[in-house]
Amino acid sequence: MKTIIVVFFGFFLIDVLEVQAYYHDDIGIPTATKIKALEEAIQANGTINIENRIIGGEIAFNSYPFFAGLVISIYGTSNKSICGSSLLSSNRLVTAAHCDHDGSKSAYEFEVVLGSNQMFIGGEHFVTNEIVVHPYYDHQHFTNDIAILYLHQNVVFTSTVKPIRLPNDGELTNTFVGCSAIAVGFGKTSTYQEHARNVLSHVKLQVIDNAECVRFYNFNEVTANTICTSGIGMAGPVGTCNGDSGGPLFVYNNREPVLIGITSFGSKHFGCEAGIPAGYTRVTSFVNFIKQHLY
């Protein structure tokens, strides 16, 4: 029994490191390529695909105006990668640091897509190369996995483009354990899904205690600056998946969305449908860093 536990923990440690080191090659670029091809085919045929793209998720038609897709240009390749992000103000967004550089490949430009349920078609597009990665970001362990994107022009707020609120002073000590949260993204709905989907999706998740999350990962990945969600919902496995990186995890407070997490890591080997928790950058731990770059 002890031997099994040791191997289990060690396997997950390798699992997480692999995701971090090769995000763009293994996940971002292949997902972007499939989504772009699908959207172009849909545009040519004049039809819209409305299938889900987040594990256990539902379609999110203009429901989350703070969500922004990122089409990422990578050094050394003409292929694009993708991530998600959250609009914080008229010219600032927050995303995961590994969307900029994952230890293997680095980005040189971001195309920010706002007000659209699709990544390449529709919405408003803003190009920027200005990103501030947390100074203590560690791509080997997913720690401090947060970055701020600067836009060179202000976006105009509309019903489909609005910022999300950061936790206020009274919420900074809230762990949100037991709360029902929502994740939004362009990731797959199935680990074994062969074809990409093309519509923004969301999923309801339960925030769990970090001690439960550590059972599946490692103390190096799950720190006080990490927030985790359960991989099991009432209808079965739920969670973020390939392509959801950098996107928001949020709760509602008096019907107002509050950003509490940034999609960071999950299980690569066992997949998105194994009922394994997912890890996010805990926003309350980085409010000061965010505010330093907000204005």
Sequential pLDDT tens for the chain (295 residues) = 332 223 333 334 434 444 556 899 988 999 899 888 888 887 777 655 444 344 445 555 568 999 999 999 999 999 999 999 999 999 999 999 999 999 899 999 999 999 988 888 888 999 999 999 999 999 888 899 999 999 999 999 999 999 999 999 999 999 999 999 999 887 654 444 444 455 677 788 999 999 999 988 877 789 999 999 987 654 444 555 555 799 999 999 999 999 999 999 876 554 555 578 889 999 999 999 999 999 8
Q: What is the dihedral of CA 237, 238, 240, 243, to 10 degrees?
A: 70
pTM of the model: 0.85
Residues 214 and 149 in one domain: no
Residues 127 and 210 in one domain: no
Number of domains making up the chain: 2
Using an 8 Å Cβ cutoff, are 139 and 97 in contact? Answer: yes
| Alpha-carbon span 290 to 95, nearest angstrom | 11
For residue 2, count CB atoms less than 10 angstroms from its CB and return exposed for 0-12, middle for 13-18, buried for 19 or more: exposed
Residues 178 and 103 in one domain: no
Residues 253 and 214 in one domain: yes
Residues 159 and 184 in one domain: no
Give the 3-state secondary structure of the chain.
CHHHHHHHHHHHHHHHHHHHHCHHHHHHHHHHHHHHHHHHHHHHHCCCCCCCCCECCEECCCCCCCEEEEEEEECCCCCEEEEEEEECCCCEEEECHHHCECCCCEEEEEEEEECCCCCCCCCEEEEECEEEECCCCECCCCECCCEEEECCCCCCCCCCCCCCECCCHHHCCCCCCCCEEEEEECCCCCCCCCCCCCCCEEEEEEEECHHHHHCCCCCCCCCCCEEEECCEECCEECECCCCCCCCEEEEEECCEEEEEEEEEECCCCCCCCCCCCEEEEEHHHHHHHHHHCCC
Residue 14 lies in a domain: no
CATH number of the domain within which 277 lies: 2.40.10.10
Residue 294 lies in a domain: no
Final residue in a domain of this structure, among 141, 163, 185: 163
Return phi, psi of residue 30, to 5°. -60, -40
| Alpha-carbon span 160 to 255, nearest angstrom | 17
Domain hosting 209: range is 169-284
Residue 224 lies in a domain: yes
Residue 183 lies in a domain: yes
Residues 24 and 159 in one domain: yes
Distances (CA, A) of 279 to 41, 164, 226, 243: 34, 20, 6, 14
Q: What is the pLDDT of residue 81?
A: 96
Residue 179 lies in a domain: yes
Residues 111 and 93 in one domain: yes
Residues 141 and 176 in one domain: no
Residues 182 and 266 in one domain: yes
Q: What is the pLDDT of residue 146?
A: 98
Final residue in a domain of this structure, among 113, 128, 163: 163
CB count within 10 Å of CB 245 equals 33
Q: What is the pLDDT of residue 37?
A: 87
Q: What is the pLDDT of residue 125?
A: 96
Residue 259 lies in a domain: yes
Q: What is the pLDDT of residue 2?
A: 30
For residue 204, count CB atoms less than 10 angstroms from its CB and return exposed for 0-12, middle for 13-18, buried for 19 or more: middle
Residues 33 and 151 in one domain: yes
| Alpha-carbon span 153 to 74, nearest angstrom | 23
Q: What is the pLDDT of residue 108?
A: 98
Residues 134 and 254 in one domain: no
Q: What is the pLDDT of residue 151?
A: 98
Q: Which residue numbers are catalytic? A: 98, 145, 245
Residue 291 lies in a domain: no
172's tokens:
């900074």
Residues 158 and 191 in one domain: no
Q: What is the pLDDT of residue 77?
A: 97
Using an 8 Å Cβ cutoff, are 220 and 144 in contact? Answer: no
Spell out the residues 6+ positions from residue 225 whose beta carbon is closer than 8 angstroms to its own: 143, 144, 281, 282, 285, 286
Q: What is the pLDDT of residue 121?
A: 83
Q: What is the pLDDT of residue 21?
A: 63
Q: What is the pLDDT of residue 267?
A: 63
Final residue in a domain of this structure, among 107, 129, 163: 163
Residue 108 lies in a domain: yes
